[in-house]
Amino acid sequence: MNPYQHKVQYYETDKMGIVHHSNYIRWMEEARVDFLGQIGWNYKKLEDNGIISPVTAVECKYRVSTFFDDVITISVWVEEFKGVKLKLRYEMKREDVLVCEGHSEHCFLNAEGKIMNLKREKPAFYETLHGLTENA
């Protein structure tokens, strides 16, 4: 998987010139969308297949401040996948310095908002995610 790169914009910084903490969550979303596209399951394809994937939890640990014009490289991994719940892990770096790490958790719903078991209902997507799981 190719890491996602985000160039920090001026509007993402606060009065002190430091990136506001809320932006790291947005960058995780950008990287997740990119990751899904790289594995052949972009959000349009998911929705066309009747799959909705809301965020159920998110966590960030901030290590080092970032600033306007920094280039942040974000790596994404499937940390855990059980067919109903997906946990992704993120590492954000400026050059070789870890600036933030985090997790997001997601479930899968059908168009009616009911929880889906991907193994049974969407086996192709299930196999893709299962094959990327760190503990597979």
Q: What is the set of active-site residues?
A: 14
Gap between the Cα atoms of 111 and 9, Å rounded: 35
Give the Å distances, CA to CA, from 2 to 48, 108, 111, 121.
25, 25, 31, 29
Q: Is 97 exposed, middle or buried (0-12, 13-18, 19+ CB in 10 A)?
A: exposed
The answer to whether the CB of 130 falls within 8 A of the CB of 71 is no
